[in-house]
A and B are shown apart, each in its own frame.
Chain A
């Protein structure tokens, strides 16, 4: 209930987190000192690469981010209404449900060769793989969220005179929101994994390509720099997700 105090609670938590990070860096540095730099470069070498190659890194990161946003956006725009339609129409739910279960058991990366064949190398194919990764967790969790709305609230809404519009927008949507967010977050994480997988197989630029090229050039420092960039982007944006989620779902606190 003491909402203002919550922000301050962050700093005592940040300390152990920073400590853990430091220890990991130290272990990395020690390990790197025992291997030649063309096998395992140390943190400082990687940092230097990040600084000197920053414009190249940013360029690749932008391409990757664009593909993620394209594929993920499509997954949200198609996935959420589909979940609502499935929740509203039991017959449709049974018809499509089994198909979805089958499709979502296929790892998104397994789509890559087919998609490359159909779409060709480019932003479109990478975005399509992202879509395949993000779509299923989004639909599945949103669908489950609709069922998780307590029956007494559904009853109360109808009893108080809610028509279909109010029922869906003001009762089902907020009631399902916690699980919808779970799906959105899972889908987001999978989107980043999928995009790198797609770029590793074939793409015009992007962080996945950068990592692959680094291998071909025998530049492990550049590969690690690319990995750091992906990790930072995915983790950083996930953080933003958590902030939005806490805001939208503040009634749960």
Chain B
């Protein structure tokens, strides 16, 4: 299988704004994601998960090592790698339909697949509403639809359901899985929920505390849709790894 995303020996350090202190987020991280794969990244908070996504998105440049997408080095932001933010980052002045069609319209392609995506993500009835008028779950559906509308090669999801209540969270997981099964897009899903990772991902990457390194790479082979209660063993193993420092 071809490599959709590859990080090799990637290092990245931030300079703290006030003190000028260097904060090493990644110190030689290797990660490969095959085309069409749904990979989850889990790890303690502050370990560098968002940094990984931002490097792939092209918002950050690695200090050392290489980040490639579809074999080509990542150079800045591109529509082939779209980020979905935890709060959705919807344009508040655009309706649901206008938010979803933003990408295609920006590129002069009309509304693209907007109608189809609205239907697929259960947003039919909300097409003319503004983000303010939506629940958190609905907002994340819009964020997902808006990202899918530009038809990226890779979808980067940064704790997309982290702010939702348990029920909406499960529904959105179903929506995401359905979208993935339909389009088979390469997806990198950062989550702090081991249950979510095990439920959705082909592979779960467990990342160590900062600086992030891959601690375990766990393949989940259970058929979909998955029953997480049947995956107790694997969940416990991963949760154990996330909790213990070494």
Contact = CB atoms under 8 A, between A and B. Distances in A.
A114 interface: no
B150 interface: yes
B83 A159 contact: yes
B89 A253 contact: no
A204 to B, nearest CB: 44
17 contacts: A152-B87, A152-B89, A153-B91, A155-B83, A156-B85, A156-B89, A156-B91, A157-B91, A157-B102, A159-B78, A159-B81, A161-B79, A161-B106, A170-B91, A170-B94, A174-B93, A175-B93
Interface residues of A, number: 24
A168 to B, nearest CB: 12
Interface of A: 1, 150, 152-153, 155-163, 166, 170-171, 174-175, 177, 249-253
B224 interface: no
Contacts of A252: 92, 132
Interface of B: 57, 59, 77-79, 81-83, 85, 87, 89, 91-94, 102-103, 105-107, 130-133, 146-147, 150
A170 B99 CA distance: 11
A156 B92 CA distance: 13
B91 A253 contact: no
B103 A251 contact: no
Contacts of B85: 152, 156
Contacts of B94: 170, 174, 251
Residue of B82, B92, B150 with highest tally of chain A CB at under 10 A: B92
Contacts of A161: 79, 103, 106-107, 150
Nearest to A175: B93
B79 A159 contact: yes
B157 to A, nearest CB: 13
A175 B105 CA distance: 18
A163 B131 CA distance: 23
Contact of A155 (B78, B89, B93, B131): B89
Given A152-B85, A160-B150, A174-B93, 5 more contacts: A155-B59, A157-B91, A161-B106, A175-B93, A251-B92
A166 B107 CA distance: 9
B83 A156 contact: yes
B77 A171 contact: no
Nearest to B109: A161
Given A155-B83, A159-B82, A160-B150, A251 B106 contact: no
Contacts of B59: 155
A29 to B, nearest CB: 47
Contact of A160 (B79, B93, B133): B79
